[in-house]
Chains A and B, each alone.
Chain A
Amino acid sequence: MKKTALFLSLALIGMGSALAADPAKIDWGKVPAVNVPLFYPGQSSYEWLISDAHKGAAKETKRGDACAFCHDEPDAEKDIGNNIVAGKRLEPTPVKGKNGYLELKVQAAFDDKNAYLRFQWATKSKNRPSIDYPGYRFDGKEWKAYGGPQLNADVLAGKKPAIYEDRMSIMLDDGKVPNFAKQGCWLTCHDGERDMPKLATKEEVAANPLMKAIKRADVRKYLPASRNDPSDWKTGKTVEELARIKAEGGFVDLIQWRAHRTNPVGAVDDGYVLEWRNFDAGKNHFASNMDNEKKQPKFMFDAAKFGAKALTADDFGKKDMFLIKGVNAVPFDPNAGWKEGDILAQYYLSAADAAGSAADNKGTGVWKDGMWTVVMVRPLGLTNDDDKTLKAGGVYSIGFAVHDDNITTRGHHVSFVRTLGLGAKADIEAVKLP
């Protein structure tokens, strides 16, 4: 990463009240570390989980038994991940060379102001992490999508380059989502979603009452409680029923650090899952760079600061290409002499624009010697209706996921659910900072 972006990240995290610790100054050597095994889950959806295809476990999972009740033998995660990633089951399009297993080191601390979660993992690439993002390429007439994640059909077919950002994600619940403490993230992963079995067609989504009501064009993560039939995305509850579930806290927090879209501005996004994978209210640290009315990008690079007004295909994997408002972005000029092959970022970033509940979380990641070290900073005591409130003494169910090596959707490594305690007994016990 460029020094400017890193400096900005650290400076933003350092801001806050005197009660908050500077994450960069926390002595992590004194904070206990827990190694959490992550594995490649392929298409092991909630529907598969409770089906007879999940051999010898359908009855148990339907009644709500915990995944780890059976999968607790040594190397359980390693065996499952290696089996699936090789395409032996649950993975119709294996990604060549992908690892089935990943070890995540987790540390946690808190003070009167924030919780601090530190993660470390080795990336597949030892030369450069995945910090790029698909862009918009000018073909001489129009700006069209360029690049995509590894599981994208065009990428698999070799028609597009594999480009996507690394991510570190957590899902967190305070005990209000039935069964999350036992089956964790699997509650949110369903047939019909992107890159999952029985992918919902555009027509099916367009005709679906819930999808129409929430103005969504595809199916994303959802909780079983949001559907009348928990295994059928088409059976969504009414908006009124969903509002009641949300008001009762029946959603999981989804917090994601993103190597391209949040890290350069010292941020971590803030979302939640109920009927869809939603971002919290307010404004994210990143926004689409496409002006849909004019069919052209909103911003281009400031050539004086970036060295060019646009990227080229050769820049991917070599040049840090974060388009940051107020740093290296200027309004798009349609008369700037665009030529075929010019590429602009799909998203522009702005810490200053971020607002509301969506802007709660901060954080930063540093990649060194083949290893990401990411620190998420989550304020305690949030009272937004789309946040789980963290407090001293609290114990939470938490699932972890890492997207590594230009991939998204099911191409992650995930954990069985764990507990996080803020000064309380749990699998991962956050240490109170002095």
Chain B
Amino acid sequence: MKTTRPILLAGCLFLALAGTAPVHAAVDEAAAQALAKKNDCFKCHAIDKTKKGPSYKKIAAKYKEKKLDEKEAIKQMIEGKKVKLEDGSEEDHKIIETKDPKELSNLAQWILSR
């Protein structure tokens, strides 16, 4: 069959790439950003710019350095703990308006993969 080889090749390539891809490969970017926007996350955070809160890139780097994981990021979103803002003041972090574990996981992964 003439078509078998390309399909097999493509399949292998997919597996090979999957093996090397980072954990966040499965992140639904559009859904994560939509959830962040719906919850006004972008009022305080930007991807690579310091606003009222740190950029998502800075957060991701900090989590990586401190070896913190997705669970810690989700706790930050759902517990409303006090956070230190970029101007040095402190404020209760906004509690995200979803309890869906999949949505929370997706958003946490998206943030940590910046």
Q: Which residues of A contact B (CB under 8 A)?
A: 55-57, 59-60, 69-73, 79
Q: A56-B94, A59-B89, A60-B52 are in contact. Are A70 and B44 (CB under 8 A)?
A: yes
Cα(A60)–Cα(B44), bound, Å: 11
Q: A59-B89, A60-B52 are in contact. Are A73 and B42 (CB under 8 A)?
A: yes
Q: Majority SS of interface residues in chain B?
A: loop
**Counting CB contacts under 8 A, is B37 at the interface?**
yes
- The reply to whether B89 and A70 contact each other, CB–CB distance below 8 Å, is no
- List the 4 closest A-B pairs by CB distance, nearest first: A73-B42, A70-B43, A56-B43, A69-B51
Interface size on B, residues (CB 8 A): 11
8 A Cβ contacts from B29-73 to A: 37, 40, 42-44, 46, 51-52
Instruction: Kindly provide the distance from the CB of B15 to the nearest chain A CB, expressed in whole angstroms.
Output: 35
Q: A56-B94, A60-B52 are in contact. Are A71 and B43 (CB under 8 A)?
A: yes
Contacts of A60 in B (CB 8 A): 52
- The reply to whether A70 and B94 contact each other, CB–CB distance below 8 Å, is no
Contacts of A71 in B (CB 8 A): 43
23 CB contacts below 8 A, A to B, read A55-B40, A56-B40, A56-B43, A56-B44, A56-B52, A56-B91, A56-B94, A57-B43, A59-B89, A60-B52, A69-B51, A69-B52, A70-B43, A70-B44, A70-B51, A70-B52, A71-B43, A72-B46, A73-B37, A73-B42, A73-B43, A73-B46, A79-B37
Cα(A71)–Cα(B52), bound, Å: 11
Contacts of B46 in A (CB 8 A): 72-73
Cα(A71)–Cα(B43), bound, Å: 6
Cα(A397)–Cα(B51), bound, Å: 22
Contacts of A55 in B (CB 8 A): 40
Contacts of A79 in B (CB 8 A): 37
Instruction: Kindly provide the distance from the CB of A265 to the nearest chain B CB, expressed in whole angstroms.
Output: 45
**Further pairs besides A59-B89, A79-B37: 4, Cβ < 8 Å:** A55-B40, A56-B94, A73-B37, A73-B46
